[in-house]
Amino acid sequence: MKFLTFTVTDMAKVPEVAQVSDKVWASPPPGIKVEANYVCLSPPFPGVSPNTLVSIAIVDAESAEAIAATSYPMMLAGANIHRVPLLELPVGGAAKVEKKYRG
C-alpha cells in the first residue's frame, strides 16, 4: 500500500534526524521502499511552526512492521511522522473509481 508521508522536524533536530534517516534508508527492512522524496521550501500547510523542516515522501509498504521499522528510529531522533494512505487513481479514470466505491 502506498502512503504519503510527512516528516516534520524542528531545525534543532535536523542533523540527528538526517543521520538516522540515512542509516535507516541505506538498508531498509524488507517490504518497504521510498518511491519519491521531497523537502518543502516553504510551509506546505497552515500550522507549521517557524524553524521547522517538512519533507514529503511517497512510500510503498507491505506491512505495519516495515513502517514501524523505518519510522521508530527517526521518531526517537526527534521527527514527527504522519502517514496518509493513498488510493491510486488512473489518469482520467476518477469517475469510474468513484462509481466502483459508491456501490
Q: Is the pLDDT reported for residue 76 higher than 80?
A: yes
Q: Burial code of 54-73, b = ≥16 C-beta within 10 A, e = fewer? A: bbebebebeeeebbebbbee
pTM score = 0.85
- 39 strand-pairing partners: 55
pLDDT tens for each residue of 39-66: 999 999 899 998 999 999 999 999 999 9
Is 88 a residue whose pLDDT tops 90?
no
CATH number of 2-102: 3.30.70.260
Cell of 7: 516528516
Is the pLDDT score of 38 beyond 80? yes
Name the residue ranges covered by the structural domains of the chain. 2-102
Residue-wise burial string across 85-103, b where 16 or more C-beta atoms lie within 10 A, e elsewhere:
eeeeeeeeeeeeeeeeeee
